[in-house]
Structure 1
Amino acid sequence: MASLPTPSVSADSRSRAAALREALARRVVVADGAMGTMLQAQDPTLEDFQNLEGCNEILSLTRPDIVASVHREYFAAGVDCVETNTFGANHAALAEYDIAHRVLELSEAGARVAREVADEFTAADGRQRWVLGSIGPGTKLPTLGHAPYTVLRDAYQQNAEGLLAGGADALIVETTQDLLQTKASVIGARKALDALGADVPLIVSVTVETTGTMLLGSEIGAALTALEPLGIDMIGLNCATGPAEMSEHLRYLARHARIPLSVMPNAGLPVLTSDGAHYPLSPAELADAQETFVREYGLSLVGGCCGTTPEHLRQVVERVRDLTPTPRDPRPEPGAASLYQTVPFRQDTSYLAIGERTNANGSKKFREAMLEGRWDDCVEMARDQIREGAHMLDLCVDYVGRDGVADMEELAGRFATASTLPIVLDSTEVEVIRAGLEKLGGRAVINSVNYEDGDGPESRFAKVTRLAQEHGAALIALTIDEEGQARTVEKKVEIAQRIIADLTGNWGILESDILIDTLTFTICTGQEESRKDGIATIEAIRELKRRHPDVQTTLGLS
């Protein structure tokens, strides 16, 4: 809201955030449990809700005493941190009450209440308490077209700015159900951190249903592949199930995630009774599960979700406070992901096949279907390639005279749910690539970058790489510089090494997320000058892999 002061972050906040990072690195940190049921148990009136019944976030303004009492109960149980009363302080949830304009106000209010109680307990005994700024999912799933990605992203930025201004020591994007919504939350939060010059842990907690996937069908591997490259500090699970159902998903994360892990389960699966939902897991059983998770999977942050009470968390604290997270030796699998599954770049029994029949420049059939708006036919061509064994799909809509952004929005939006394979976004236009990224919840690959127009801040290389960094995409890079396409082994390797050093050193992109295409001219023309191009390409790949074994390589064939 324009009338609110510009959010800011204090030096004390930076100190607390640093202390939280240090604590998460050396011991088990315990968060609180359920918030909503604790608030409702105090029977707030309709007036307390400002006639917006069920909007718990309003209580941070009208009845901060009620909200503070919940925080106090959890801190008294021994937890290290509490989550703010801001789970619904987002655009989608507040819009249902016609108060979407109050995102920033309610986020800051919720954080301030929690901050005051945390400081109260810290002052009493000298032990630092922290505030986790809760960013809930809302009710709109952008993958299904419920709301535009950019609207959600910008509102999540306001959500995060309010939390930081109110004194949150970390941001936790939680109970996420749609990977595109999750990415909007994370990217919005990162924009808030940049805008305020803040540096706090950014945690993501996805929700896996009893089906074994997120609500829209995403496996835990797809979630990890899509979210870890966004620069988050921690990933974990919360809500939907009890700890028993979370075990295998945590096992996967423990094996593959480079970053620390968290878990906040429900108190078992709910049982419907005449009095409403009952959560059957006892405090001792939750403590047993959390101890097991810390010992077996090396978790750093544990807590509770629906049905967990201060007594549940008191017993968890007793059980884990003297434990050190078991060290992990993760084995990351670099790759891309669709909404549904992850696809490693390195296949066990095959090369990585990128299907190009959904490329308007390479497929006359696809181009004609696109030009005539036969979108279902375009989708069917994508499915044909899936059936024939492709591992990823190249999507290119570039065609003279067409609105590439509109075509990409249409087709990437359809492919997002219709394709089980990751998408390679293939365009010469930066805005067309952006349009694709804002439709895909999985992890895309961008095709491509090169140094044809240099590497300055306004070059296409910089613009595309900035998009890849923001959205966590992998990059195909071509061995082309200001002098043109490399023809010799030496020149191909030289340009490749320049690109790798640039992307890793200046942009923070991992070597394993770079796919170098050493290129070759058409080699079947019979022209003498191109006779050895194929050999040069093969030798360049061999030398590049010797020098950079983690780098991926690709080669387009006509």
Structure 2
Amino acid sequence: MTTNAQERPNAQERADALRQALATRVVVADGAMGTMLQAQDPTLEDFQQLEGCNEVLNVTRPDIVRSVHEAYFSVGVDCVETNTFGANYAALAEYEILDRTFELSESGARIAREVADEFTASTGQQRWVLGSMGPGTKLPTLGHIRYSTIRDAYQINAEGLITGGADALLVETTQDLLQTKSSIIGARRAMDALGVSVPLICSVTVETTGTMLLGSEIGAALTSLEPLGVDMIGLNCATGPAEMSEHLRYLARNARIPISCMPNAGLPVLTKDGAHYPLSAAELADAQETFVREYGLSLVGGCCGTTPEHLRQVVERVRGLAPVARDPRPEPGASSLYQTVAFRQDLAFMAIGERTNANGSKKFRDAMLEARW
């Protein structure tokens, strides 16, 4: 399982070059994958009777998957995400093909790697592959699934991605901090098993409520996840850029590591023809340029509803920009599932009392009368 990753020439050099690029300039990733795959109308046979399992297309219709990567690279993006968002325990178990986790992860990364190498050779611009690791549909915090079960499955997922040629691992669209931790730890174990080191990017999803799905504030996410050794933290999915601004501001002020942002093309509007994403390409480009200049983003891209045209305009706006220098001043603290609490020493006195009801408690009344404080 480790041979291909170790023998592939320049794999570590590519990963190191990506780290260097993220540290010195703005790197642009791609946009939506699923809608572009569906637009090519794959048949039920293409899905091997597993309707909606896009990852199967990595094996049956690599030409479709390849065409999506080509469309994004053609507009100048630096990296594409693999078609492996659902190559995880929860999603594949529902299709009863859990034993294909490695196969579908490796094939998805290999397709993207081939296209990236072709564009690197033809344009002279280094192109990279981000191995997509999606959240699945089970939340361990709510007891849907055991933490160790999905952690071990994420390791297989990550091993397949690295073996197929991914230059970085992108833990994305996370909604449950325990699920996020399981995927990060699984990714770390995969790197250790394969003897490689690639950038590990974590992208959480904050809903329109202002928190992650289970109620975690962005501060709780940063306090919980940064110590796990991720190379970058950011936001993707759920909302458009407008709703992400305050969360990015918090990260800019507190995160010691680089920041990413991959928003939807606005909040979806339900029409008779289904969901419509209203944000234009120019509006997304405006927002991402603003975020780069104000919050020092190192990686930008798009999520649901974004197209190659959206990313073409983003590339034009941020090309040549260097991340604005940040001066983060995080306050040490601890976090629950919901919020972070700073380690501050309060010099004021603290009054601690229990129920002092002389009428309701004879024992308390007697103690009070006898001055047994």
Post-superposition offset of 1:336: 1.1
Aligned mates of 1:181, 1:348 — CA distance in 2: 34
Aligned mates of 1:137, 1:7 — CA distance in 2: 26
Partner of 2:104: 106
Residues 77 and 214 of structure 1, relative CA distance in 2, 3 Å threshold: same
Post-superposition offset of 1:346: 2.1
Aligned mates of 1:346, 1:331 — CA distance in 2: 15
The residue identity in structure 2 corresponding to 1:265 is P
Partner of 2:367: none
2:102 alignment partner, SS class: helix
The residue identity in structure 1 corresponding to 2:5 is S
The residue identity in structure 1 corresponding to 2:269 is V
Aligned mates of 1:350, 1:33 — CA distance in 2: 52
Partner of 1:136: 134
Contact 1:270 1:280 in 2 (8 A): yes
Aligned mates of 1:183, 1:11 — CA distance in 2: 31
79-88 or 328-337, which deviates more:
328-337
Contact 1:225 1:336 in 2 (8 A): yes
1:237 alignment partner, SS class: strand
Residues 100 and 325 of structure 1, relative CA distance in 2, 3 Å threshold: same
Post-superposition offset of 1:7: 5.9
Aligned length: 353
| Paired residues for 1:43-122 under 5 Å | 43-122=41-120
1:172 alignment partner, SS class: strand
Partner of 2:244: 246
Partner of 1:555: none
Aligned mates of 2:346, 2:257 — CA distance in 1: 25
Whichever of the two has the greater Rg, that structure is: 1
Residues 344 and 7 of structure 1, relative CA distance in 2, 3 Å threshold: farther
The residue identity in structure 2 corresponding to 1:8 is A
**Structure 2, gaps ≥5 residues long:** 355-373
Aligned mates of 1:63, 1:232 — CA distance in 2: 33
Alignment of 1:323 with 2:315, yes or no, is no
2:193 alignment partner, SS class: helix
Q: Deviations over 1:342-385 (max 9, x none)?
A: 011224566999x9xxxxxxxxxxxxxxxxxxxxxxxxxxxx99
Residues 273 and 36 of structure 1, relative CA distance in 2, 3 Å threshold: same
| Paired residues for 1:523-534 under 5 Å | none
| Paired residues for 1:162-177 under 5 Å | 162-177=160-175
2:213 alignment partner, SS class: coil
Partner of 1:17: 15
2:196 alignment partner, SS class: coil
Aligned mates of 1:351, 1:144 — CA distance in 2: 38
Partner of 2:361: none
Partner of 1:287: 285
1:343 alignment partner, SS class: strand
Alignment of 1:8 with 2:5, yes or no, is yes
1:308 alignment partner, SS class: coil
| Paired residues for 1:472-511 under 5 Å | none
Tell which has more relative contact order, 1 or 2 (C-alpha 8 A, sep 6+).
2
- TM-score, reference length from structure 1: 0.62
Contact 2:112 2:129 in 1 (8 A): yes
2:10 alignment partner, SS class: helix
Contact 1:7 1:196 in 2 (8 A): no
Aligned mates of 2:213, 2:349 — CA distance in 1: 32
Post-superposition offset of 1:115: 0.3
Q: Deviations over 1:384-422 (max 9, x none)?
A: 99xxxxxxxxxxxxxxxxxxxxxxxxxxxxxxxxxxxxx
Contact 1:209 1:215 in 2 (8 A): yes
1:8 alignment partner, SS class: helix
Contact 2:167 2:199 in 1 (8 A): yes
Contact 2:155 2:189 in 1 (8 A): yes
Between the aligned residues of both structures, percent identity stands at: 80
Partner of 2:203: 205
The residue identity in structure 2 corresponding to 1:223 is A
Aligned mates of 1:350, 1:86 — CA distance in 2: 53
Post-superposition offset of 1:126: 1.3
1:175 alignment partner, SS class: strand
Partner of 2:270: 272
Post-superposition offset of 1:8: 3.1
2:5 alignment partner, SS class: coil
CA RMSD of aligned residues (A): 1.8
Partner of 2:365: none
Partner of 1:223: 221
Q: Deviations over 1:233-284 (max 9, x none)?
A: 0000000000000000000000000000000000000000111100000000
